[in-house]
Structure 1
Amino acid sequence: MYKMIGADGREYGPVPAEQLRQWIREGRANAQTQVQLAGDTAWKPLGELAEFADLLGAAAAGGAPPVVGPSPTVSAAPSAAINPEALAAEILARDYQVNIGDCIRRAWELFKSDFWLLLGACVVAMLIAGGGGIPYLGALISLVVGGPMSGGLYLFLLKKIRKQPAEFGDIFLGFSTAFVPLMLGYIVSGLLTGIGVLFCIIPGIYLGVAWMFTLALIIDKKLDFWPAMELSRKVVTRHWWQLFGLVLVLGLLTFVGFLACCVGVFVTGTLASIAFMYAYEDIFGARP
């Protein structure tokens, strides 16, 4: 993943290598364009990166048009214009591993560092996403708000994990930034998983795990619901059993909270949510 400074002086990204190649082909970047590899602090000319040398040489030989800043509709915000196919290919090419114990350990360290804010945000998000326990209407409310509320919580947790400024109100950002995709992602993935369980349990379990990162991808990568579902499925399938194990362990961790007079579920549920997002970040986050 890379960041780039456009001709307009604005910073764009992080974007995958394929997006940079597209900008080179369009004449929006050249050998002098300043880029930064994700996880690095130094900016350097694009021409110094060997992986783009052939494309830059072809662009120079062909007399590429003057460089202009990338279109605001493409990358005015971080993670905008992500190509899900390219991102899936990039992740699968470098591969990944999920260390369940390490995800929980890091989650606990983060939880301890800002206990009350994280606990409060997760408890409120869980209660609202679950329909607030309202009889009869609760299930309908959950269908509408469950996706946006969960997406907002995931964004809040990602900000904390990435050491970005985060505040309690961030848990509601799903309603203002991606309400329809999050709602549809929540409903469609849940409905199709339910159908899979109804007709044959194994396909339902597979789909439930395969689509586990759908809402996080929608809110983080600015994707529509179906591309997010497909991206999650393709990437998760590579190490499906590892992520199935993660789901089981986090589910067991949450269940343990019920044994502590039910109140403990808020603590263990918060810890599980943070660990879940650490796994997401390990897989889909920017890599050096």
Structure 2
Amino acid sequence: MQDTRIRCGWGCTQGGLPVSGRLCATSDWYHSDVTAESQPEAGLPNLPPTSWAVLGMLAFGEEVSGYDLKKWADWSIGHFYWSPSFSQVYSELKRLEQHGYATSRIQNEDGVRGRRMYKITDAGMDAVSKWSAEAPIDPPILKHGVLLRIWMGHLNDPERLKEILREHIAYVDKMERRVSVDVGGAEAEPAWAYPRITMLWAKRYYAAERELALQLIKDIDDADAMLAKAELHDEAGHPKAVPGRWREVEKRVQSEE
């Protein structure tokens, strides 16, 4: 089902809240590695937003493996920003080590092959604190695959569009149940107070997505009635806009801005 999470400045979508630029290894999360959030105006290095996200996770002070970070991201920032692949996590950790923002060691346990553990450095804590407080913030980008299908509704059957929306509702209901569990898990640690309220936001977001989809199902009937008034059609019977109409609308909108 289409991922509709709010995206990072890249528009990444790999399991994030919702909708994919590349919040990446996700859906069609799209991008350049440098956005407004990673510019040096704040006196910080040119790191992509995902580097700061990983560094922010390390800023909770625990020494963790890349695997730990991936799983943690899935049930925390993955609900609203970025759900990375394992390869992305390790790439970002390597980048952070190169900048002196993280350090690592091999942890050996009872003959088991050691795993690499990472922790933030003092320089990393200073940098991520500065980034969080001072770096420019990119506005959220919404890439909604379901809405794109509705936007092209003149090419589809109204009942099929309603079916797509019902499938979307089932998806967001599942995600709301999942984030509700994650909110409960975050209550176990006082240091996760702010991560917890971001997950509460995600829970409300999914609930709102449900209501918007239900309303859109009702709106389809009105749209279909309006579409029946279209003056032009192609050879397959699909309604066509009057040539140049979009330019007229664009000029009118610009004059009203």
* TM tier relative to shorter chain: under 0.3
* Larger CA Rg, structure 1 vs 2: 2
With the length of structure 1 as denominator, give the TM-score of the two structures. Answer: 0.22
Name the structure where helix makes up a greater proportion of residues. 1
With the length of structure 2 as denominator, give the TM-score of the two structures. Answer: 0.24
